[in-house]
Amino acid sequence: MTAPHTPLTPLDLGGRTALVTGAASGIGRACALRLAVAGAKVRAVDRDAPGLEALAAQAERSPGLRGTVEPYALDLTDLDAAEQAAAGTDILVNNAGLQLVRPIEEFPPDVFHTVLTVMLEAPFRLIRGALPHMYAQEWGRIVNISSVHGLRASAYKSAYVAAKHGLEGLSKTAALEGAPHGVTSNCVNPGYVRTPLVEAQIADQAAAHGIPPERVLTDVLLKDSALKRLVEPDEVAEAVVYLCAPHASFITGTSLVLDGGWTAH
């Protein structure tokens, strides 16, 4: 049976509800605004309530926004609340993350646990909360913001790398289970993005590698990238919204890599 041809038309997410985690800054903020431009009603989730209010104010001032951005203050370590927040969601963007750069023997176990909770267990619970609605309407989009570190490892990032590798597997499993119900699940894998999370890494990386902070960007973060610049959050948001478009309905269970050639080595 041949699938019907879908003409390329401007993306219209009017009537769709999107949930974006880690929405107060960086990639999450860019995704929330881009989805709202496309017409979605965006549930912007973050534990940073002032950051969410600033996002909502920015959305109100932004020209061309056809949707809305609604702040939803939530700490994703409250897993039951996370699952409940995802009910009724048409589009789920799992983006929230945190980072600590330490050798394994010095890595605090409590931080390792928190990273895995926020970056792997919470996405599982959010997907679990969103799927009943998606299945009932036979349409849904799950986009997991992974990383090059979902495909490659780096020293001193045991928790982050473990979480991102786990997220890749979770995303593929959701794709296989969701396919009969019209639900796609994919990862977006950027290299280093110009976000507060990356900026905060520079001092940690300098200490871990014993080099001055000004050398971290060129000698560590972008060492394996063919393109010697950071990815911009808006570039990641465009990849996310592309996966929500009608012409991306056959893309599922895969990883869309935005790494400037890092993994080409």
C-beta separation of 163 from 231 below 8 A: no
The length of the chain in residues reads: 265
Is the distance from CB of 256 to CB of 239 less than 8 angstroms? yes
160: annotated active-site residue: yes
Place of tokens 């219209």: 12
d(CA 99, CA 198): 9
Of 72, 135, 156, 160, catalytic: 160
Q: Quick one: 103 exposed, middle or buried, by C-beta within 10 A (0-12, 13-18, 19+)?
A: exposed
Q: What stretches of 62-155 show up as alpha helix (H) in DSSP? A: 79-85, 109-116, 122-137
Intra-chain end-to-end CA distance of the chain, in Å: 40
- Within 1-121, residue ranges assigned H as helices are 26-37, 49-61, 79-85, 109-116
Please choose, from the candidates 183, 157, 186, the residue with its C-alpha nearest in 3D space to the C-alpha of residue 172.
186
Residue 41 to residue 18: CA distance in whole angstroms: 6
**Which of the residues are catalytic?**
160
